[in-house]
Amino acid sequence: MPPSDIADALPLLRCLGGNSPFLSSLALRQPTAIRDVWTRGPDDAFAHVLSSLTHVNILAKRAEIAAALRQTKREAALVIAIADIGGLWPLETVTGALSRLAEATIGLALRHLLGTAHAAHEITLSDPEHPDTDCGFVALGMGKLGAAELNYSSDIDLILIYDASAPAYASGRAANNIGSFTSRLARDLVTLMEARDANGYVFRTDLRLRPDPAATPPAVALQSALTYYESMGQNWERTAMLKARPVAGDLGLGQRFLHAIRPFVWRRGLDFAAVADIHAMKRRINAAKKLTRDPAGHLGGFNVKLGEGGIREVEFIAQTLQVVWGGRDPSLRLRATLPALARLTEKGHLSPTASARLSESYRFLRQVEHRLQMVNDRQTHTLPEQESDLAQIACFMGYPDLASFLFNLRWHLQQVRASYHDVFEVTGAAPELDFRGDDPDASATADQLRDMGFTDPARVINCVRQWYAGRVRALRSSRAQELMNTVLPAVVAELAKQPDPDEAFGRFDRFISALPAGVQPMSLFHHNPILLERLAAVLGAAPRLADHLTRYPNAMEGLLSS
């Protein structure tokens, strides 16, 4: 409920004015939005703002549509900020409102473009007053928009798909070149959403998640998209599709498309290949952004989204476990992060302690992210470098001083990092592997292993010698030993890349020991280097999944199915 007296709003207004030039300007420009929050409550105030879009004439001039979209964005942004800063809405309501705003504005922009195309006899709509109906063009919301968890100053990721066989394209001038028409439609949609004018902008819009963006037009034909995902889709695209959702246009077309690619996204077998690729993606992000700094150190300039212990690590935990187990369990196919963590815990794939810790820290870090973006309406996730600017963010977060804010922030980063290690990178002691040397001590081999990162080469060497001595059932035949001798250097090299090479090799030893036969797996390793790379990543990064693979070796086929 809103405060009963407008005077109660003064502390909040001082917070807006003292910490955010962007919100200060909005408050001066849209004073009625502040009044509505305090007199009607944030839910009704937000609904009232969105309702204004339903009264816009879709056949109005382009400039009028653009002005209406930007006016709605300004008012809604202020209402949402007040509800967030004032503690009137929890995180899910804040991010949900931002996502509903994006959907509503995309929807109006697309209805306008389709309606004017019909009026100009370019296409023939079945219901011109409701241009979305069977229009054969859909906007899929991806990422945080698809999951209804947009951040305060978020870009929106879209994939635009059209069905050339839709009745709307059967007659009219566009029928002669549907691809050209839909490409122009896509470009006009992006311009309406992100072009800046005196009224500001609506949402920055990104179409680069579509199939092969360097070689495809901005709107992709349905059949081309299906063919791409069936034959060339990559694991990162599967993870992206976890959150895909039709948000505007022909929603039925969007649902049919997502149903058609369900076998690509959700594999029936346990999908360990995704573990390797997602974990490698995180390492590449760290390397590219130089984000490996210790959260316990200085936090000026720290990226709360991509840095160690940040928002992305929580998302990666949820998405990885969903991809692995969701093929067999449809109940895990949730788009939003917090519900996914809860469901994974309910199904026994994440401990209650880790889930509670991750959820609490995710909420906190998203709040920090929002405050950073509210300052100047910038899509930033990076803490200020200067102590005075950091102190301003601490004040904006409601902390009495910088020290208490940094203490709490550091605690949450460490909690997330600990959970990430628990799920992906648990280290410890275990048996190992290596080459079969002629000298009894294998000193040269031991030195080589030590240089590669193994801390106990003697145990590795002893373990491998036991393999060659026939102590492991799968390696008793001469053919299996010959193949193992061929792939062993690659095995060692891949395991050495893992966070703890000794632990990763120990899991490999347990996996080999569980195999009923060795010729076929060793041959697969020899002819499919990617399989060995992915197996090593699973063994080195995901102990629970490695244990499952040891109990059910046939599940290794999931590492090839991508």
Torsion from C-alpha of 547, 548, 554, 555, nearest 10 degrees: -120
CA–CA distances in Å: residue 169 to residues 218, 267, 375 = 18, 35, 45
Measured at the CA of 527, the angle between CA 525 and CA 531, to 5 degrees, comes to 45
Q: How many CA atoms lie within 13 A of 406 on its CB side?
A: 18
Give the residue carrying structure tokens 């093929």.
327
Token pair recorded at residue 392: 């301003």
Per-residue pLDDT of the chain (562 residues; tens, 9 = 90+): 444 455 566 777 777 777 899 999 998 888 888 889 988 999 999 999 999 999 999 999 999 999 999 999 999 999 999 999 989 999 999 999 999 999 999 999 999 999 999 999 999 999 999 999 999 999 999 999 999 999 999 999 999 999 999 999 999 999 999 999 999 999 999 999 999 988 899 999 999 999 989 889 999 999 999 999 988 887 778 889 999 999 999 999 999 999 999 998 987 765 555 565 566 666 666 655 555 455 556 788 999 999 989 999 999 899 888 988 898 899 999 999 999 999 999 999 899 999 999 999 999 999 999 999 999 999 999 999 999 999 999 999 999 999 999 999 999 999 999 888 877 653 333 233 335 444 445 666 787 788 888 888 888 888 888 877 777 887 877 667 767 777 787 888 888 888 888 988 888 888 888 887 767 677 777 666 777 888 888 888 777 777 887 777 766 666 655 4
Give the residue carrying structure tokens 């000026």.
300
Helix ranges, 195-261 (H): 222-231, 235-241, 251-260
CA–CA distances in Å: residue 375 to residues 94, 371, 392, 484, 549 = 17, 7, 10, 59, 48
Measured at the CA of 483, the angle between CA 549 and CA 541, to 5 degrees, comes to 30
| Per-residue exposure over 134-147, b if at least 16 CB sit within 10 Å of its own CB, e if not | bbbbbbbbbbbbbb
pLDDT of 434 = 39
Total residue length of the chain = 562
Measured at the CA of 266, the angle between CA 261 and CA 267, to 5 degrees, comes to 115
pLDDT of 94 = 98
Element (H, E) at 547: helix 543-551
Q: By C-alpha distance, which of 43, 44, 39 is closest to 4?
A: 39
Q: By C-alpha distance, which of 314, 343, 346, 506 is closest to 423?
A: 314
Is residue 97 within 8 A of residue 82, CB to CB? The reply is no
Q: How far apart are CA 339 and CA 192, in angstroms?
A: 33
Is the CA virtual torsion 76, 78, 80, 83 positive or negative? negative
